[in-house]
Amino acid sequence: QVQLVESGGGLVQSGGSLRLSCAAAGATSDFYTIGWFRQAPGKEREGVSCITRSDGRTYYADSVKGRFTVSRDNAKNTAYLQMNSLKVEDTAIYYCAYVSSIYLPFACRRDMVVSWGQGTQVTVSS
């Protein structure tokens, strides 16, 4: 089973930036997708951004396009989510996820996730 370890959350003021990291271990193939999801209090977990490991294709939810950038470093088996121009409404617990499909945006759905990271809190203050 793929294990994911996240880091990088925290408290930031509106307009600020944070970078999340997700280290993956245990994958037996290069053909998978790492997704970033978030869950705000009282809301469902939603897909924010995804990236395929093999060729770096990306997907972004409309709410984060132009502000968030997903990337990966295959040598480190790590994916990143650079979050700029953060808004109060970006406050949530952010989870990285392992998806065995590489077909975007289909793979960036909660029901496609095989393994979840532990989650990291991102809080944006006004």
* Nearest in space to 81 (alpha carbons), one of 100, 95, 92: 95
**pLDDT at residue 67, as a whole number:** 98
Q: What's the mean pLDDT when you consider all of the chain?
A: 96
pLDDT at 122 over 90: yes
Answer whether residue 76 shows pLDDT above 90. yes
Categorize the per-residue pLDDT at 42 as very low, low, confident or very high, splitting at 50, 70 and 90: very high
- Phi/psi of residue 75, each to 5°? -65, -30
pLDDT interval class at 10 (50, 70, 90)? very high
Q: What is the mean pLDDT of residues 54-66?
A: 97
Res. 28: pLDDT tops 90: no
